[in-house]
Amino acid sequence: MKISVNRTALAFVLTAVALAVPSVAWYVVGLREVATEAERLEEAPRRSAEVLAERLADRLGSRLETLRENEARRPYYHYQHLYHDPKGAYEGAAVIPSPLAQGPADPLVHAHFRIDAAGRLTLPTLADELPVMGDAAIEPGQRTLQREMQPAAAACLEKLRSAQLPASATTADETRTEVMDAAAYEQNLRASRLYVAIKSGRPVERPPATRPGEVRVRVGPFRWHTISINGTDALVALREVKAPDGSSAQGFVIDESVIADLLRGAKFPAEFLPGPPSGTTEAAVPIAPAVWHVSVFAGHAMAVARNTGREARESFMQSFVRGMRGAIIVGLCVVVLVWRTDRLARQRAQLAASAAHELRTPLTGLRMYGEMLADGLGDPARTKDYARRIVGEVERLSRVVTNVLGFTRLERGTLRVRLEPGDLGVVTRESVARQQPALEAAGSRVETVIEDDLPPVCFDRDAVAEILQNLLDNAEKYSRAAADRTIRVTVARDGGEVALAVADHGPGVSAAMRHRLFRPFARGDGRDLPAGLGLGLALVQALARAHGAKIRCNDAPGGGAVFTVKFPIK
């Protein structure tokens, strides 16, 4: 055995050495080149997305900054529906519609709004005190927008009060003071009432100034903030207006759908999102103190690049495998043939030794009892007993020969069964009845419990008889030292199967033995094992599988082992 093992190992080592050196060199060098190329392919779209994100963020930031600067120059009274132009040529009482009354001129602005000190939000497109002034076409949508934005008014005022980030030099320089005479200021305060009076046809005089001299209104710079409107974060520009009659907030909301349209023409899909950038393909938009970023989604391009890199690796591996396949197959075939030759030699030697041992005992008994009957030796009254012993030894020889022939068919792959529907209980009862005398003569007692009205299953009568013969013989041999030598055979329905079980009260099967219990020549680990070839359970499993059945071994209640074969109900 040692020589055969060395032959297999030597064949393996020589084959491995012959293939290892060139294949390893080819694999390492080729895979390194492919990996470098794949990395370059995968890096290209990611880097392109990074550059695109930065470019889009800068472009969007510049566009928003231009909008902020333009809106910062707008007079504070434009945020009213009606206003009096202090620089107008007409010096009497006069009001005109705001440039914002028909909606924002810049498509990037979703809406302008004003919030008074009490937190009431108004839109310059709506004349709340003068319903007839509103544009009937846009008024419903503007009313809805006003209702959606009103809950955000408190947050806007809080943003102005908290001043979360200090003003930069740029925004500080943008603070300006609008100066007008007191009469013009009063007309802007009373613009709606003046309009009603003018429309009524009554003579209207210029409102008297309630305060002497000029009025100064301090208009702060617009700053970007993130405000939740209708449950969604929105980019809002806010500024504070301080007038003699109190402070108010003015601002405008960015239309993110327009920004989405601006980003739609980019090379990769991009989005304008609140919060700081969190990935390499995201870039912050310079609109402090608000924190927004452009996120570029290059996932598809990167996935294509990864697939291309993977295909390059796979192509290399296929070339490598094709180049080495012939040599590897030849080498493996040599090793496998050497191993199988050694294995078959060991199995044949083991089978020959086991079969010789198994045949010697019954042949010795046959010769002894035959000579006694031929020469008239022994007790003449026990002649029938001698004949029964000869029959028992013949049956033992028959089992050995049957198992050897069955193992031969199993090894050749010619083990076949003829499946026919029938009553498994009837066949079981007949098979047990044929073997019961020999089992009882050996000291065992057989109990048979067969459930009534069993559903038909498909099986081979001879194969089932062989299964029972091996299981009963196995139970008898391994329970010889047990106090209770009863062997229990049961046939019962188990869900969608019919279970044939043989239980004994022997020592049982150890956990270490169960994983190799059904292998050919497998025997227990004890020294005082009964004689046998170790083929019976292997044949039982092969015959069960030929039926589409399952076999398992469990511990029997009260000790011992129970072997169960489950046949599917057809």
Q: Summarize pLDDT for 43-97 with one digit per residue, the tens.
A: 888 899 999 999 999 999 999 999 999 999 999 999 998 888 888 756 667 788 8
Rg over alpha carbons for the chain, rounded to the nearest Å, is 50
User: Under DSSP, is residue 272 helix (H, G, I), strand (E, B) or coil?
Assistant: strand
* Nearest Cα residue to 293 out of 108, 107, 67, 54: 54
Average pLDDT, the chain: 81
**Residue 60 contacts residue 294 (beta carbons within 8 Å):** yes
Average pLDDT, integer, range 530-555 = 79
- Tell me which residue of 96, 50, 98, 42 sits closest to 74, measured CA to CA: 98
Is residue 168 pLDDT above 50, yes or no?
A: no
Q: How many CB atoms lie within 10 A of CB 171?
A: 19
Q: How do residues 301-311 score in pLDDT, each as one tens digit?
A: 888 888 888 88
- Bridge-based pairing of strands 96-97 and 232-243 is unpaired
Secondary structure (DSSP) of 86-115: TTSS--SS--EE-TTTT--SSTTEEEEEEE
H-run or E-run covering 16? helix 2-72
Residue 168's closest CA among 217, 219, 222? Answer: 222
Q: How many CB atoms sit inside 10 A of residue 192's CB? A: 17
Let me know: does 470 contact 500? Beta carbons within 8 Å: no
Place of tokens 């010769």: 367
Using CA atoms, how far apart are residues 433 and 366, in angstroms rounded to an integer? Answer: 24
Residues 196 and 226 sit within 8 Å (Cβ to Cβ) = no
Strand segments (E) across 316-444: 420-422
pLDDT (tens digit per residue) in 457-516: 998 888 888 888 888 888 888 888 888 889 999 999 988 899 999 999 888 887 777 777
Whether 294 contacts 56, CB under 8 Å: yes
Q: Which residue has the higher pLDDT, 192 or 126?
A: 126
Question: Dihedrals φ, ψ of 176, to 5°?
Answer: -135, 165
Can you tell me the mean pLDDT for 163-189? 70
Type of residue numbered 365: G
Question: Which of 330, 317, 322 lies closest to 18, judged by CA?
Answer: 330
Residue of 406, 403, 422 lying closest to 414 (CA atoms): 406
Q: Which residues pair with 96 in a beta bridge?
A: 83
- Other C-beta atoms closer than 10 Å to the C-beta of 382 total 12
User: What tens digit of pLDDT does each residue of 384-412 get?
Assistant: 666 666 666 666 666 566 656 556 655 56
Predicted local confidence at residue 167, as pLDDT: 44
Residue 230 CB contacts under 8 Å (≥ 6 apart), including other chains: 148, 149
CB 424 within 8 A of CB 498: yes
8 Å CB contact between 400 and 363: no
Q: What are the two backbone dihedrals, phi and then psi, of residue 28, each rounded to the nearest 5 degrees?
A: -65, -50
62: left (phi over 0), alpha (psi -120 to 50) or beta: alpha
pLDDT-derived band of residue 249, with 50, 70 and 90 as boundaries?
very high
Q: Which long-range contacts (CB under 8 A, 24 or more apart) does 281-284 make?
A: 281/46, 281/49, 281/50, 281/53, 282/53, 283/50, 283/53, 283/54, 283/56, 283/57, 283/58, 284/57
From the candidate CATH numbers 2.102.10.10, 3.30.565.10, 2.70.98.40, 3.90.226.10, the one assigned to the domain spanning 379-568: 3.30.565.10
Q: How far apart are CA 342 and CA 338, in angstroms?
A: 6
Checking DSSP bridges between strand 445-450 and strand 486-494, what pairing results, if any? parallel
pTM above 0.75, yes or no: no
Q: What is the pLDDT of residue 545?
A: 85
- CA dist list (Å): 523 to 17, 169, 218, 225, 546: 38, 92, 102, 82, 23
DSSP string covering 117-156: TT--EE-TT--TT-GGGS-TTTHHHHHHHHHHHGGGHHHH
pLDDT at 531 over 50: yes
> Could you tell me which of 428, 434, 395 has the C-alpha nearest to residue 499?
428
Going from N- to C-terminal start, the domains of the chain cover: 74-254, 379-568
Q: CB atoms < 10 A from the CB of 558, how many?
A: 8
User: d(Cα 190, Cα 344) in Å, to the nearest integer?
Assistant: 112
Lowest-pLDDT range, 146-150, 278-282, 317-321, 534-538? 534-538
Instruction: With cut-offs at 50, 70 and 90, classify the pLDDT of residue 378.
Output: low
pLDDT digits (tens, 9 = 90+) for 338-364: 777 776 666 565 555 555 555 555 666
In the predicted structure, residue 374 carries a pLDDT above the cut 80? no
274 contacts: CB under 8 Å, gap ≥ 6:
226, 233, 235, 291, 292
Q: Which residue has the higher pLDDT, 109 or 483?
A: 109
Assign 169 a pLDDT band (cuts: 50, 70, 90): very low
515-540 exposure pattern, b = at least 16 Cβ within 10 A, e = fewer: eebbebbeebeeeeeeebbbbbbbbb
pLDDT value of position 95:
81
Which range has the worst mean pLDDT, 105-114, 165-174, 188-197, 330-339? Answer: 165-174
Spatial CA neighbour of 404 closest among 347, 336, 342, 460: 347
